[in-house]
Every structure is written in structure tokens, then in C-alpha cells.
Structure 1
Amino acid sequence: MHPHLSHLGSDLCQGVLEYAEGRPLGKCGLCWLKIHLANKYGGGIEKLSHEGKLAFVENQLFDIFDSAANPVDGNCWWTNAEDPFQCLAACMDLSDALRSPSPYHAVSHLPIHQDGSCNGLQHYAALGRDYMDAVAVNLVPGEKPADIYSEIASR
């Protein structure tokens, strides 16, 4: 593997990486693909609840399909994303799935990023069994993702 092509590399590097073996999305996987796309679009969308992210993607389907089919000559919606190449890869994957006869059976090779928000602080909250800290670091389910760093900065 090339030394500069890494899952920890730039947006371009991450946008071209795929798993060699794909897996059928299933209902859960299709939802996570949409959430991933919203997260990669960014611009504050990543701070919404899962339902908000799913609604954002549903409202952008025209642009998502256009981005997948015409990434250079289309309206280039994907270029406005915070992580444009990862967003484009997600647009292509989602477009393929939704245009297939059975989206839940569509095979995806795309890595879906999951943010382990403030992992060290999560360990401290769990060890201390502190409910308020657990809420602040996303150990407890909430309406939308908590952001302890923004909370600390505002104080």
C-alpha cells in the first residue's frame, strides 16, 4: 500500500478507500449510510439528531443523485461539503443502493465512520458512574449528539 494512502489520511485518501469485501446494507446499514453522508457533508449538519440527519439526506436526494451521476458536469453539490470526496463516495454508494431493486440488499464497500466522541472522557464518566458526565459525552442516548467541548468553551 502506498504510504500516503491511509484511513487516517486526507479527505481525498479516505474518499477513495473501500473494503475489498462488501456487505448487504440491510435496513440499519442504509440508515447509517445516510447518517454518514450527512456527517461528511458537515456545515453543522453533523450536530443534528439522527432523525435530523436522515431528514437532511431525504431533502437532498436530487442533489445526491446528481452528484453521483455527474460529479464534474452536474450541479456539484458535493463540493460544498466539509469532506467533499468522502461525501461524493457516500453519494455514489447511496445512489447505487436507492436505485437498485432492493436497497436493503445492495452491497456496500464503503467504510462508515462512527465517532467515538471524547473517548477518554467516556471512560472517566463510566468509571465514575456519573450520569451527568455520561450525558455530556454520549454514553447515554439523547435527542442529538452531545458536544462536551462546545459546552466547556461556552462556560
Structure 2
Amino acid sequence: MIRDHGDRRKAISEPCVVISPAGMLVGGNAVFYMQEIASNNKNGVAMVSYQAEGTPGKKMLETGKISTRGKDMKVKATVRQFQFSGHGDRTALFDMIKNIKGNPKVLTVHGDENSCTKFAEEIQEKFGLDAYAPKLGEEIAV
């Protein structure tokens, strides 16, 4: 569980997956993470929300640069944009899941504990995939 700036620094000191809001890189923790991971070509960033014109996220996608500490910095991390809503309904999420290649592990994390658990169970039953609803603060190895 990330509680403060020290936890954020510790989290990125080793290989990890960070899920952070502020998808347009306008503010919040996503800006911190981008500033810290953008310069390393071993890192990857998945932009999963709409990027409005004039936002730092849109600029990064168009130019391959982010502004950090008053200067433009080339983003060496692999950046990919995925066009789907962060608020898809059950049908849209099932459609997305059925089109994923391979045998992914699915984590359900956006909702209350009961809803996430039920959704993970439905994914297991419908698609035969390994689906799981982690508890708040639980660490998952990927």
C-alpha cells in the first residue's frame, strides 16, 4: 500500500507494476511516476484513458517528451495507448477479456470488495481464466 512519498520511492526502486490515476498527467501521483521512470528504456507505460488536447499526456504521445522540473525530457520508456473506457460496463469488459490472447491472470480492482470478488468469479466461470480480487494493500507478484 502506498501511503506517502517515501512509499512511492520505495515502490519504484525494484521491478513493479504501478496503477496510478491522473491519466492525462496533469497532476497527482502519475506525474511523479512518469518523472521517475520515463528515462529508462526498460520501463513501460500504458495510457488507458482519453488524452485531451493541451494536456501533458497528449503532448507525451505526440512528441515523446514530458516536461519535468521546467525542462522537456525525452521519454525512453515504451509508451502505448489503449483505447478503452476506464468505466466500461460488464458487457464491454467481457468483450475485452474474450479478445485477450494467451492465458492472462485477471485482477479485478475497480469497485467495492464484494463486486470485485463476484466479477472475478464470473470471469473464472465464463472464460476459465485465473481471475482474482486482491484485498486492499495486498501485493501481487507479476
Measured against the shorter chain, the TM-score band is: under 0.3
TM-score normalised per structure 2: 0.24
TM-score normalised per structure 1: 0.23
The answer to which structure has the higher helix fraction is 1
The answer to which structure has the higher strand fraction is 2
